[in-house]
Structure 1
């Protein structure tokens, strides 16, 4: 498994080597030793979650206040376009975003440090996304910015088919940026 640095400060991509044969494939999706070598505490991830989304669905853009939340994200079935925005005011990449395709061919796992907005669009029917999170969820710390905020200029690749009511009612990047002191 190779580890690469993402475009944004602190973001990592874990690239496994899937082994293919006549039966299908086998791949390692997490390796504690590799995570530790990359500077992560593998034991810090206390919760695993999974979502299933229909093609075109957008989930996001979500974040957490307080200490934030670090997570490992991968697509176990299908494909997604995963999008991050750095919301750490002291970060050299504050306000910048990046997008990466995660799928069930390459099995890349994206490490998202605390202090990011995160969201994705399902590119396939369906897409299963797995999250390994380092903190219990506290709804009082939830942050959200609309997926189509004009200041973020996220280029979602497909027409949007589904968005939750919560995501439709999310605030703006300008509002959140002011609140964070950016």
Structure 2
């Protein structure tokens, strides 16, 4: 397993060691001991989620203001552009974002710690997205920052208007959002 820090060093790309031959491939998608060593802390994942989305669907930027969730995300079918935004007011990277293409071909994973908003855009005809979370989904604490907030200026690789849920259309600007200290 190779660990690659992004421009925001708390957000990591995890590149698994893939073993392949004419029969197919094998890789260890999660090893708690290696993962905790990579992020330098203990973690307890409590929930696994699986979504399927069509091309052009943009989900996010989501977070929970209480019961904050760290997320380990990956794509098992298709390709997405995955984004993490630092929304910790006291962080030196507050308001900055990082993005990474995750796909079934590259098999990369991204670790998004608590204190970040998260979203992704589907670039392929469809994508199946898996993520482990460090706390349970709590809809009463869920918040959404606008995907197109000009203050964030996320460079989404869009070729048309994204397909959004009602919740995502109502996302707040970073300046108006509840944030972490």
TM range (shorter): over 0.9
Calculate the TM-score normalised by the size of structure 2: 0.92
Q: Is the 8 A contact 1:78 1:128 kept in 2?
A: yes
Partner SS for 2:161: coil
Q: Is the 8 A contact 1:9 1:92 kept in 2?
A: no
Report the counterpart of residue 176 of structure 2 in structure 1: 175
Shift of 1:119: 0.2
Q: Is the 8 A contact 1:71 1:113 kept in 2?
A: yes
Q: Is the 8 A contact 1:57 1:160 kept in 2?
A: no
Report the counterpart of residue 114 of structure 2 in structure 1: 114
Q: Which runs of 5+ in 2 are unaligned?
A: none
CA distance in 2, matches of 1:22, 1:174: 52
Q: Is the 8 A contact 1:16 1:106 kept in 2?
A: no
Give the alignment's Cα RMSD to 1 decimal.
1.6
User: Which runs of 4 or more aligned residues in structure 1 lie more than 4 Å from their structure 2 counterparts after TM superposition?
Assistant: none
Q: Which runs of 5+ in 1 are unaligned?
A: none
Shift of 1:19: 2.0
- Deviations along 1:100-141, one digit per CA (max 9) or x if unpaired, are 011111211111100001000001111111010011111121
Partner SS for 2:34: helix
- Deviations along 1:17-53, one digit per CA (max 9) or x if unpaired, are 22222122222211122112122435x0010001101
- Deviations along 1:139-170, one digit per CA (max 9) or x if unpaired, are 12111111111211112112234110110011
Distance 1:131 1:181, change over 3 A: closer
Partner SS for 1:33: helix
Q: Is the 8 A contact 1:9 1:93 kept in 2?
A: no
Tell me the matched-pair count.
Answer: 179
